[in-house]
Amino acid sequence: MLVDKEVTWHRSCYSYATNQTELQRARDRFEHLVATGQYAMKRRGHKRSTSEMEADIPGTSKPFTRSATDRLSNVLCFFCQLDSR
């Protein structure tokens, strides 16, 4: 649990991250993008379009992995990763 690990956060960051109005607006934006075809979910095992394959240039992109990111600091705000004072 976060409290057990002595994680800290700003009250405003927590409020924003858990604000039901903001979460609903994000869901609405996502649904709008899906409905208008501006967001295409890539599913495992599905063929990619020709334009997607042409966009890939070997050697220029690496898969994004958790191990490639910086570790979260429990001294910084959990949500914004800025000084928690």
For the whole model, what pTM was predicted? 0.45
Task: Compute the distance between CA of residue 24 and CA of residue 22 in angstroms, rounded to an integer.
Answer: 5
Examine residue 30 and state whether it is found in any structural domain, yes or no: yes
Which domain covers residue 83, as residue numbers? 7-41+75-85
Judge whether 81 lies within some domain.
Answer: yes
User: What number is the average pLDDT over the span 38-62?
Assistant: 58
* Res 21 pLDDT > 60: yes
Residue 29: pLDDT above 90?
yes
1 domain residue, yes or no:
no
Q: How many domains does the chain have?
A: 1
The whole-angstrom separation of Cα 25 and Cα 16 is 12
| Mean pLDDT across 7-27 | 90
3-state helix, strand, coil in the chain (%, to 5): 40, 5, 55
Give the integer Cα–Cα distance in Å for 41 and 37. 10
Does residue 63 surpass a pLDDT of 60? Answer: yes
Give the Cα separation of 47 and 45 in Å (integer): 7
In a domain, 37, yes or no: yes
Residue 22 lies in a domain: yes
Residue 53 lies in a domain: no
Does 21 reside within a domain? yes
Write down the pLDDT at residue 85.
Answer: 61
Average confidence (pLDDT) over 39-67 = 61
Average pLDDT, the chain: 76
What per-residue confidence (pLDDT) applies to 59? 54
Say if 80 falls within a structural domain. Answer: yes
